[in-house]
């Protein structure tokens, strides 16, 4: 994974944790989806790909899973360790790249991540690695920003970017002390085909949402007003099974 992404996360981890205020639990992007797609994980061995500050890791532990967390940045893992201590859970974490996981094949029953793949330039490599470390019949559950949502201007709601402009995206957010914000965009078909080609059967492809702006809260950075969230899906959620 490019050093520019790791460098920015190392520098912005503290401000992100303070500003985003991520809740402890399985934050797949819509209330109740954790219950629907994960349920009771008792006896399951899980890996969280991009565990960040550990909020979802604690959520998986609460569902009964034995979890290992992986994240690219040391600063995020420090937040995770502090959160684990606060909630009295014991979770091993590893600093590493999810496109080159430090685990044996067929080691896990569940691979999980929440809002990680927008930071991954080699999406297919990450999916292939998830498949490699899962046992046959193991499940892969993840959420990611919906590629439609960022095409619209948050003020006018007009489409200002092409859906077909995939790959590396650079946002100049005005914070000169940090490297530019770099993310990666994939089409829905890119996501589906990468999973199938890696050896997954896609169980569910979900675009949760509501047409009522009252069902949303503004995003912490002002780029997702409720009125826009009620028009376009903000999250893509996938559940797949390894063949």
Per-residue confidence (pLDDT) for residue 179, from 0 to 100: 76
d(CA 115, CA 16): 14
Tokens 């399951």 belong to residue: 44
The tokens of 47 are what? Answer: 């890996």
Sign of CA dihedral 44, 66, 59, 132: negative
Sign of CA dihedral 147, 138, 194, 118: positive
Tell me how long the chain is: 243
Residue 45 has pLDDT above 90, yes or no: yes
pTM for this prediction = 0.94
d(CA 163, CA 117): 17
* Cβ atoms 52, 20 nearer than 8 A: no
The tokens of 28 are what? Answer: 């797949």
**pLDDT tens for residues 150-167?**
999 999 999 999 999 999
Task: Work out the average pLDDT over 172-187.
Answer: 82
Per-residue confidence (pLDDT) for residue 209, from 0 to 100: 96
């Amino acid at each position: 994974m490019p050093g520019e992404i790791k460098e920015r996360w190392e520098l912005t981890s503290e401000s992100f944790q303070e500003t985003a205020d991520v809740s402890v639990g399985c934050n797949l992007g819509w209330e109740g989806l954790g219950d629907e797609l994960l349920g009771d994980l008792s006896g399951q061995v899980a890996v969280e790909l991009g565990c960040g500050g550990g909020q979802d890791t604690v959520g998986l532990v609460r569902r009964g899973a034995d979890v290992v967390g992986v994240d690219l940045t040391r600063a995020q893992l420090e937040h995770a360790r502090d959160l684990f201590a606060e909630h009295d859970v014991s979770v091993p974490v590893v600093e590493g790249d999810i496109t080159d996981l430090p685990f044996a094949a067929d080691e896990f029953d569940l691979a999980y991540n929440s809002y990680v793949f927008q930071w991954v330039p080699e999406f297919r490599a990450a999916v292939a690695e998830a498949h490699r470390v899962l046992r046959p019949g193991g499940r892969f559950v993840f959420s990611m920003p919906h590629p439609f949502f960022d095409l619209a201007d948050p003020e006018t709601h007009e489409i200002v970017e092409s859906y077909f402009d995939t790959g590396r995206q650079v946002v100049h957010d005005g914070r000169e002390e940090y490297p530019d914000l770099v993310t990666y965009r994939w089409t829905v078909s890119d996501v589906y085909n990468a999973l199938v080609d890696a050896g997954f059967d896609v169980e569910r492809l979900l675009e949760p949402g509501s047409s009522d702006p009252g069902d949303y809260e503004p995003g912490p950075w002002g780029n997702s007003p409720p009125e826009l969230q009620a028009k376009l899906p903000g999250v893509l959620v996938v559940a797949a099974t390894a063949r």
